[in-house]
Amino acid sequence: MKLSDCRPGQGGTIESVGGAGRTLQRLLELGIVEGRAVRVIRVAPLGDPMEVRLGDALLSLRRSEAEAVEVSG
Amino acid sequence: MKTATLTRRVAVIGNPNTGKSTLFNALTGLSQRVGNYPGVTVEKKTGALDEGTQLVDLPGTYSLAAYSPDEMIAVSTLLTGPEQDGPDLVVVVVDAGNLERNLYLATQVFETGRPVVIALNMVDAAERAGITIDTEALSRALGVPVVPTVARSGQGLDALRARVHETLGRPAPAPPCRWPEPIEREAGALAARAGLPPFLARRALVDRGGAAEALVAAQGGPDAAGALAQARARAETALAGPLPAAEARMRYGWLAQVTAGCVTRRPAGRSWTDRLDAVLTHRALGSLVLVGVMSAMFLSVFQWAAPLMDLIERGFQGVGDLVTRTLSGTPFQGGLLESLLVNGVVAGVGGVLVFLPQIAILFLFIALREDCGYLARAAFLMDRLLRFSGLSGHSFIPMLSSFACAVPGIMAARTIGDRKSRLTTILITPLLSCSARIPIYALLIAAFVPATMIAGFLPLQGLVFAAMYFVGIAVAIPVAWVVQRTLLRGPPAPFVMELPPYQWPSPRTVALRVLDRCRAFVVRAGTLIFAFSILIWALGTFPRSEEARAEARVERQRAAATLSGEALRQREREIANQEAGELLRRSALGRMGRALEPAFAPLGWDWRIGMATLASFPAREVVVSTLRVIYDLGEAEGDDERDLAATLAAARRPDGRPAFDLAVALSLLVFFALCCQCFSTLVTIKRETNSWRWPVFTFAYMTALAYAGALATRHVAALWL
């Protein structure tokens, strides 16, 4: 499923990171790469962006950015 | 005499939120200097590591992939050899609590061919989170020295200094992490063709639309762009996917092996960051806390800054009075020198320093929030709200600060990483009603808006006041939207950002930040603002009408012959005020006001209003005191504005019509809500963008909007009223 469809508490292993250009590159640089575990912690008051845990870091992603990330599990 | 020592340069680079600034501050102390890189909006901070070694702070970044001239600064600095004043060594600051992601940048720095020392910072926080790093093993795996540090407490800094000196002059080790063969092959051919270092050729291949690609196109001769596209396509086919993904796989794959051998984890309890975030980024509670924190900031500005500003203003008035008293009885009494000193120099210096309390207090709050990690949470909470203007949550704090004063707001935009968003934020913040507009709003509303209630309970005056704030916001949103689709076009910047772990703010870092902001404003903006105050003084003073002065002399003699005691003093004040008014009306500024009357006529303004507006170019609040002088009320007759309000309401044009009516007053209000009559703002924009283009643009577009808004207001109001 897409990371953007995950509810708080849900997540899984990153299967693929799509999209293109700078946003894709930034996601990759921050460690959103295949094989890593990611979990949604919570969502901002207006429903967007979302806070996710990736390894030791907490990241804030917009839904439009999280849409490019496929997770399994 | 000191012998000429060879100056060594050491660059410091690191991810955002690694404590890089704290480390830089701790290493250089008060020796640091802040300047600008030529042609970009990036600040250049340098300082002395010790005698003979200079430390250069590079902008915080997650990667050396560069898409703008600003991002290219770090790359081109690292690629410049020591023989051309480039760095002899690079210190990469790495957050021990997030090793893999931080080392990603380090592996890129390895490829620039400079010797590297890793500062493994915040080892104490990592330890608390259950992460222990074997620095020896890490150093062996990376092939460079690794020094554990805690920049906040100064732990490990001496060791870091020592390792830097040991490593200076040693050759850089070969980068341990190898690029996939197809990229290496294509990059080699491209580097030869465009005469670029292999590092840039690889970046040109990987960073589609980036700064290195532009370099290849510029230097590679005809059809270089086509050759690059073909090379990229071949590499993508060979690697079965986009090149950035190949780069990330390569680096993170290698780093996973490295960290597996030197990081031990033990289970740690729920961290403070998690516990705090459960409240601070909670849907309801988080928003409440944000409102609370922001209200506290504003209350403090008004509670603490207002009295301090009063004090400064009164202090400078006192100095002015002192000058007047000292000169009284000398041949300079009432002369040019007195006027220059009192109305030019003293008022000019006071006009600069009066900003300091607001800058200091706002930056105290901003620096505290930034240092403890809350700034990113505020951006997280507000992102959605700001997005419809094309901006992101990062713009929230600068924009909010601008309701107090645009100067700290513009300076705070520095925390916005993306150049396009940062410039847009800088361009629109002056539209938000700052505290300097309050005296103008108060004066005109008190004079012309009837103190009635709408629907029995809404005070009309209060509504107009609120409407002025609303006008600024309502205009700022479409301006941001348009600017990002015209002047600052480009792909949207990724918003994805880190929410750093919370930490206690370091008093030293916060104090240095506040001090640095205040110094930057006074030293580098202050001098220009001061020069402009003198210029406006000169325009309002010259040519000096001898006729007006002679008339005043005759009046004074007549008064002295017929009056005495309190009546005489009263009359003398009147005469002095009339003389000041007459001199101003006949000055260059007065003539400009008359000459420009046709331009103001559509707004319903007579030349006096137009002239007061011209005179308030350096600072909009000056319009109040200029109006006083024009209407012969003298410059400062106590704090009571009611007599001015009454005078304005009673003022007549030559044909007997009132100079002001409600429509004219409203148009003036709208003009001052939207105009950029604030030289401090313009100079700060120049400083922050490193170019006169943006302040000139800001002044032009805001004046045009202000004029159009005033025109529309007057005509719409005239229809209704």
Binary contact (B101, A26; C-beta < 8 A): no
Which residue from A27, A34, A51 is facing B380, i.e. has the nearest CB?
A: A51
Residues B189 and B160 in one domain: no
Q: In this predicted structure, what is the pLDDT of residue B526? A: 81
Q: How far is A40 from chain B (nearest CA, A)?
A: 13
CATH number, position A28: 2.30.30.90
Residue B130 lies in a domain: yes
The verdict on B267 touching A (C-beta cutoff 8 Å) is no
Q: How far apart are CA B21 and CA B152, in angstroms?
A: 10
The verdict on B104 touching A (C-beta cutoff 8 Å) is yes
Q: What is the pLDDT of residues B467-515, one digit of tens each?
A: 998 999 999 999 999 999 998 887 777 888 899 999 888 888 889 888 8
Q: Look at A66 and B614; give whichever has higher pLDDT.
A: A66
Binary contact (A55, B380; C-beta < 8 A): no
| Residue B114 and residue B89 in contact, taking contact as beta carbons nearer than 8 Å | yes
Q: In this predicted structure, what is the pLDDT of residue B9? A: 94
Q: Identify the band that residue B5 occupies on the pLDDT scale cut at 50, 70 and 90.
A: low
The verdict on A17 touching B (C-beta cutoff 8 Å) is yes
* Cβ-based contacts of A29 with chain B (< 8 Å): 62-63, 65, 104, 248
Q: What is the mean pLDDT of residues B560-578?
A: 86
Q: Which residues pair with B117 in a beta bridge?
A: B91
Q: How far is A67 from chain B (nearest CA, A)?
A: 12
| Residue B91 and residue B49 in contact, taking contact as beta carbons nearer than 8 Å | no
* Cβ-based contacts of B65 with chain A (< 8 Å): 25, 29
Q: What is the mean pLDDT of residues B344-348?
A: 82
Binary contact (B283, A58; C-beta < 8 A): no
The verdict on B247 touching A (C-beta cutoff 8 Å) is yes
Q: Order the strands of the B89-95 sheet from edge to edge.
A: B33-36, B43-50, B53-57, B8-14, B89-95, B116-121, B146-148
Residues B104 and B28 in one domain: yes
Q: What is the pLDDT of residues B583-610, one digit of tens each?
A: 888 889 889 888 998 999 999 898 888 8
What ipTM was reported for this prediction?
Answer: 0.95
Q: Look at B368 and B31; give whichever has higher pLDDT.
A: B368
Count of other CB atoms within 10 angstroms of residue B15: 25
| Residue B542 and residue B588 in contact, taking contact as beta carbons nearer than 8 Å | yes
Binary contact (B384, A44; C-beta < 8 A): yes
Residues B91 and B213 in one domain: no
Q: How far is B184 from chain A (nearest CA, A)?
A: 19
pLDDT surpasses 70 at B126? yes
What 8-state DSSP symbol labels residue B447?
Answer: H
Binary contact (B384, A22; C-beta < 8 A): no
Q: In which region does residue A60 sit, left (phi positive, over 0), alpha (psi from -120 to 50) or beta (all else)?
A: beta
Count of other CB atoms within 10 angstroms of residue B19: 26
Residue B419 lies in a domain: no
Residue B194 lies in a domain: yes
The verdict on A60 touching B (C-beta cutoff 8 Å) is yes
Q: Cα–Cα distances in Å, from B581 out to B317, B543, B554, B588, B608?
A: 20, 14, 17, 13, 11
Q: In this predicted structure, what is the pLDDT of residue B382? A: 92
Residues B21 and B45 in one domain: yes
Residues B125 and B85 in one domain: yes
Residues B158 and B103 in one domain: yes
Q: How far apart are CA B439 and CA B640, in angstroms?
A: 11
Residues B29 and B163 in one domain: yes
Q: How far is B259 from chain A (nearest CA, A)?
A: 13
Residue B526 lies in a domain: no
Q: Which residue of A has its CA nearest to B288?
A: A45
A-B contacts at Cβ under 8 angstroms: 120
Burial state string for B267-278 with b = 16 or more CB within 10 A and e = fewer than 16: eeeebebeebbe
Q: Which residues pair with B619 in a beta bridge?
A: B678
Give me the number of domains chain A comprises: 1
Q: In this predicted structure, what is the pLDDT of residue B332? A: 81
Residues B158 and B194 in one domain: no
Q: How far is A36 from chain B (nearest CA, A)?
A: 10
Report chain A's C-alpha Rg in angstroms.
Answer: 11
What the block records as the tokens of A51 is: 């806070």
| Residue B45 and residue B30 in contact, taking contact as beta carbons nearer than 8 Å | no
Q: Which residues in chain A (20-49) have CB-CB distances under 8 A to chain B?
A: 20-34, 41-49
Q: Which residues pair with B678 in a beta bridge?
A: B619
Average pLDDT over chain B, rounded to whole? 88
Give me the number of domains chain B comprises: 2
What the block records as the tokens of B424 is: 């847009």
Angle between helices B224-239 and B198-206 (to 10 degrees): 70
Residues B53 and B26 in one domain: yes
Q: Identify the band that residue B339 occupies on the pLDDT scale cut at 50, 70 and 90.
A: confident
Hey, is B643 helix, strand or coil?
Answer: helix
Residues B33 and B161 in one domain: yes
pLDDT surpasses 50 at B1? no
Q: Identify the band that residue B6 occupies on the pLDDT scale cut at 50, 70 and 90.
A: low
Residue B635 lies in a domain: no
Q: In this predicted structure, what is the pLDDT of residue B492? A: 75
SS (H, E, C) B136-158: HHHHHHHCCCEEECECCCCECHH
Q: What is the mean pLDDT of residues B531-539?
A: 85
Residues B15 and B137 in one domain: yes
Q: How far is A10 from chain B (nearest CA, A)?
A: 16
Binary contact (A51, B498; C-beta < 8 A): no
Which residue from B252, B493, B499 is facing A51, i.e. has the nearest CB?
A: B499
Residues whose CB falls within 8 Å of the CB of residue B570, separated by 6 or more in sequence, listed in order = none
In this structure, the strands spanning A57-61 and B43-50 are: unpaired
Host domain of residue A9:
3-72
Q: How far is B67 from chain A (nearest CA, A)?
A: 8
Phi, psi of B549 (to 5 degrees): -70, -40
Residue B101 lies in a domain: yes
CATH number, position B12: 3.40.50.300
Q: Order the strands of the A50-54 sheet from edge to edge.
A: A69-72, A11-17, A37-43, A50-54, A57-61, B497-498
The verdict on A7 touching B (C-beta cutoff 8 Å) is no
Q: Which residues in chain B (321-380) have CB-CB distances under 8 A to chain A?
A: 376, 379-380
Q: Look at B262 and B661; give whichever has higher pLDDT.
A: B262
Q: What is the mean pLDDT of residues B166-187?
A: 92
Q: What is the pLDDT of residues B632-644, one digit of tens each?
A: 776 655 545 567 7
Q: Which residue has the tokens 């806070």?
A: A51
Residue B141 lies in a domain: yes
The verdict on A15 touching B (C-beta cutoff 8 Å) is no
Q: What is the pLDDT of residues B188-244, one digit of tens each?
A: 999 998 889 999 999 999 999 899 999 998 888 888 899 999 999 999 999 999 999
Report chain B's C-alpha Rg in angstroms.
Answer: 31
| Residue B422 and residue B413 in contact, taking contact as beta carbons nearer than 8 Å | yes
Instruction: Report the sign of the C-alpha dihedral through residues B481, B483, B485, B488, in that order.
Output: negative
| Residue A58 and residue A13 in contact, taking contact as beta carbons nearer than 8 Å | no
Count of other CB atoms within 10 angstroms of residue B435: 17
Name the most confidently modeled range: B135-139, B300-304, B529-533, B651-655: B135-139
- Pick from B211, B242, B273: which residue ends a domain? B242
Q: How far apart are CA B437 and CA B440, in angstroms?
A: 5
- Pick from B104, B133, B167: which residue ends a domain? B167
Host domain of residue B125:
8-167
| Residue B368 and residue B505 in contact, taking contact as beta carbons nearer than 8 Å | yes
Q: In which region does residue B122 sit, left (phi positive, over 0), alpha (psi from -120 to 50) or beta (all else)?
A: left
| Residue B181 and residue B122 in contact, taking contact as beta carbons nearer than 8 Å | no
Amino acid (1-letter code) at residue B269: G
* Cβ-based contacts of B104 with chain A (< 8 Å): 29, 31
| Residue A60 and residue B496 in contact, taking contact as beta carbons nearer than 8 Å | yes
